[in-house]
């Protein structure tokens, strides 16, 4: 079974890259599907699940989640429960035994034993602000400055969640097999180049 | 003109990757040649030049080297002179107008205006210690612990030099186009995959 995990800075184009990789390689694709599954399993609204996981997850991790984890003082039982459910859902996906790409959710940590190919996607701040403004909904009306603030806040939460779950650092080079900077690329071209690189990895790992 | 710069953690296999990239792509290759040129131009011994640049470079940078540089208090005129000479040599190489790969020497900073493709090479500590011990000379006789200490010291110097020269951070994801982790790879296979990726970059940049 071949697994690619995509971790990414907010608004770096990582989600699009992940989706395109799955299309190019013929792999299944998981992203929001995981939120949907958690919401269904727990009888909660998707929006609520997403909000807890994205914004409060880092405060919420139980001490028993991962052996390397230490010193989490603020545990909220609601978000802890959701993070455990998320882990369960990701493990169920892997149990299907089919090749897949998964975006976000610290999946590289959860799936460690399956030896996934782990990609981190980044971009420079200007490109991220541009992408953030382009995809903002009509009623959001962000200024560039607000977009930058939003990007930094979301990445800070991702970073904290990651460190609590895994003990390893979010976005740090040694944690991933490949770190790609989307700045200057068309994501379509970059996806093709990244798919070739991933294929070479799977080829030599046979 | 196509330029690839390779920055790397000590003992990550970055030099071999750079050499192989140049072979695969048919580019010129520069690494120690730069030390040799500086030594010749300045009438100094190669070993001395290397020692100053590798171990004391970070303390030595002149305030006028780069516009974004600030607050360098300990300037040694000897190593400052060598760093300026190094910059000159790198610029002379670029002036030849031929495609090339250059390893180390903060070349991505010096060559910025040529829009090089910038690669950073890393590996996990165990792989680096293994590589360091394998290539240690007979009379060096390092233990694993000494190798780790050496790796950390050299990388610390590289990091300091880089930050003083450029204001940007050594090894930080956003600074490079691609960050590759050599752990688990045969450098030969990895070089082929990386050459394909670089080709895709140059192709889309046409």
pLDDT above 90: residue B57:
no
B11 φ, ψ (degrees, to nearest 5): 70, 20
First to last CA, chain B: 11
A25 φ, ψ (degrees, to nearest 5): -95, -10
B77 burial type by CB count under 10 A (0-12 exposed, 13-18 middle, 19+ buried): exposed
pLDDT level of residue B59 (50, 70, 90 thresholds): very low
| Across A41-58, average pLDDT | 78
pLDDT level of residue A168 (50, 70, 90 thresholds): confident
Residues whose CB falls within 8 Å of the CB of residue A157, separated by 6 or more in sequence, listed in order:
A54, A55, A57, A58
Q: In whole angstroms, give the CA distance from residue A71 to residue A193.
A: 41
pLDDT above 50: residue B51:
yes
Full residue range of the structural domain in which residue A151 is found: 3-205
For position B192, what pLDDT does the model report? 97
For chain A, give the mean pLDDT.
86
For position B72, what pLDDT does the model report? 44
Token pair 């450098």 is found at B187
Please report whether residue B179 resides in a domain.
yes
Beta carbons of B193 and A192 less than 8 Å apart: no
Structural contact between residues B44 and B58, judged by C-beta atoms closer than 8 angstroms: no
- Measured between CB atoms, does B159 come within 8 Å of chain A? no
Instruction: Work out the percent of chain B whose per-residue pLDDT is above 70.
Output: 87
Please report whether residue B203 resides in a domain.
no
Please report whether residue B135 resides in a domain.
yes
B95 burial type by CB count under 10 A (0-12 exposed, 13-18 middle, 19+ buried): exposed
Residues whose CB falls within 8 Å of the CB of residue B70, separated by 6 or more in sequence, listed in order:
B167
For position A81, what pLDDT does the model report? 81
| Across B77-87, average pLDDT | 79
pLDDT tens digits along A15-47: 999 999 999 999 999 998 999 999 999 898 888
User: HSE-up of B162 (CA within 13 Å, CB side)?
Assistant: 21
pLDDT above 90: residue B30:
yes
Please report whether residue B199 resides in a domain.
no
For chain B, give the mean pLDDT.
86
Shortest alpha-carbon distance between residue B186 and chain A (Å)? 8
- Measured between CB atoms, does B72 come within 8 Å of chain A? no
Please report whether residue B205 resides in a domain.
no
| Across B115-142, average pLDDT | 89
Q: Which residues of B touch A194 (CB under 8 A)?
A: 197
- Measured between CB atoms, does B186 come within 8 Å of chain A? yes
pLDDT above 50: residue B3:
yes
- Measured between CB atoms, does B10 come within 8 Å of chain A? no
User: Which of residues A158 and B196 earns the better pLDDT score?
Assistant: B196
- Measured between CB atoms, does A176 come within 8 Å of chain B? yes
Please report whether residue B97 resides in a domain.
yes
Q: In what order do the strands lie in the sheet with B100-103?
A: A28-30, A100-103, A3-8, A117-122, A178-181, B178-181, B117-122, B3-8, B100-103, B28-30
| Across B86-101, average pLDDT | 94
Q: Which of B123, B176, B200 sits opposite A193 (nearest CB)?
A: B200
Q: Convert chain A into a string of H (helix), E (strand) and C (coil).
A: CCEEEEEECCCCCHHHHHHHHHHHHCCEEECHHHHHHHHHHHCCCHHHHHHHHHHHHHHCCCCCCCCCCCCCCCCCHHHHHHHHHHHHHHHHHHHCCCCEEEECCCHHHHCHHHCCEEEEEECCHHHHHHHHHHHCCCCCCCCHHHHHHHHHHHHHHHHHHHHHHHCCCCCCHHHCCEEEECCCCCHHHHHHHHHHHHHHHHHHHC
Give the residue among A8, A202, A22 at the shortest CA–CA distance from A117.
Answer: A202
pLDDT above 50: residue A182:
yes
For position B156, what pLDDT does the model report? 87
Structural contact between residues A112 and A5, judged by C-beta atoms closer than 8 angstroms: no
Provide the 10 A C-beta neighbour count for residue A3: 22
Statement: the pTM of the whole predicted model exceeds 0.95: no
pLDDT tens digits along A138-159: 667 889 999 999 999 889 888 8
pLDDT level of residue B76 (50, 70, 90 thresholds): low
For position A76, what pLDDT does the model report? 55
Provide the 10 A C-beta neighbour count for residue B183: 16
SS3 B54: helix
Structural contact between residues A164 and A72, judged by C-beta atoms closer than 8 angstroms: yes
Which CATH number covers residue A160?
A: 3.40.50.300
For position A75, what pLDDT does the model report? 42
Beta carbons of A200 and B204 less than 8 Å apart: no
Tell which of B176, B185, B191, B193 to mutate to test the A interface (max A CBs under 10 Å): B193
**Residues forming beta bridges with residue A121, ordered by sequence position:** A8, A180
Please report whether residue B158 resides in a domain.
yes
Q: Which residues of A touch B188 (CB under 8 A)?
A: none
State the complex-level ipTM: 0.85
| Across A191-199, average pLDDT | 98
Number of domains in chain A: 1
- Measured between CB atoms, does B5 come within 8 Å of chain A? no
């Amino acid at each position: 079974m071949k697994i690619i995990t995509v971790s990414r800075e907010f608004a770096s184009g990582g989600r699009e890259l992940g989706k395109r990789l799955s299309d190019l390689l013929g792999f299944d694709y998981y992203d929001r599907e995981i939120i949907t599954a958690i919401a269904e399993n727990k009888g909660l609204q998707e929006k609520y699940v997403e909000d807890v996981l994205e914004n409060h997850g880092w405060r919420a991790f139980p001490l028993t989640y991962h052996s390397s984890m230490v010193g989490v003082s603020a545990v909220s039982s609601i978000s802890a429960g959701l993070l455990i459910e998320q882990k369960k859902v990701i493990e169920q996906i892997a149990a299907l035994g089919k090749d897949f790409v998964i975006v976000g959710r610290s999946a590289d940590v959860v799936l460690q034993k399956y030896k996934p190919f782990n990609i981190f996607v980044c971009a420079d701040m200007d490109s991220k602000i541009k992408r953030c403004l382009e995809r903002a909904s009509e009623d959001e009306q962000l200024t560039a400055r607000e977009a930058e603030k939003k990007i930094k806040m979301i990445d800070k939460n991702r970073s904290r969640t990651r460190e609590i779950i895994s003990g390893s650092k979010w976005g740090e080079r040694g944690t991933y097999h490949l770190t790609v900077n989307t700045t200057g690329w068309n994501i379509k071209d970059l996806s093709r180049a990244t798919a070739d690189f991933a294929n070479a990895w799977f080829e030599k790992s046979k």
